A and B are shown apart, each in its own frame.
Chain A
Amino acid sequence: GESVGLHLPTLSVQEGDNSIINCAYSNSASDYFIWYKQESGKGPQFIIDIRSNMDKRQGQRVTVLLNKTVKHLSLQIAATQPGDSAVYFCAENMLIQGAQKLVFGQGTRLTINP
Chain B
Amino acid sequence: DTGVSQNPRHKITKRGQNVTFRCDPISEHNRLYWYRQTLGQGPEFLTYFQNEAQLEKSRLLSDRFSAERPKGSFSTLEIQRTEQGDSAMYLCASSLLWLSGNTIYFGEGSWLTVV
- Give chain A's interface residues, CB within 8 Å of chain B: 32, 34, 36, 41-46, 49, 51, 89, 91, 93, 97-107
Contact = CB atoms under 8 A, between A and B. Distances in A.
Contact of B101 (A42, A51, A89, A99): A51
A44 B48 CA distance: 17
Q: Is the interface of A mostly helix, strand, loop or mixed?
A: strand
B107 interface: yes
Contact of A100 (B4, B31, B44): B31
B45 A101 contact: yes
Contacts of A46: 103-106
18 contacts: A32-B102, A41-B111, A43-B107, A44-B91, A46-B105, A49-B101, A89-B43, A100-B48, A100-B95, A101-B48, A101-B56, A102-B33, A104-B43, A104-B44, A106-B40, A106-B41, A107-B40, A107-B41
A42 B55 contact: no
Interface in B25-60: 31, 33, 35, 40-45, 48, 55-56
Contacts of A105: 42
B83 interface: no
A99 B108 contact: no
Interface residues of B, number: 27
Q: Is the interface of B mostly helix, strand, loop or mixed?
A: strand
Given A43-B108, A44-B106, A32 B42 contact: no
Nearest to A90: B42
B97 interface: yes
Given A49-B101, A99-B55, A100-B97, A43 B91 contact: yes
A103 B45 contact: yes
A101 to B, nearest CB: 6
Contact of A49 (B43, B44, B97, B103): B103
A9 to B, nearest CB: 9
A104 B102 CA distance: 15
A23 to B, nearest CB: 11
B108 to A, nearest CB: 5
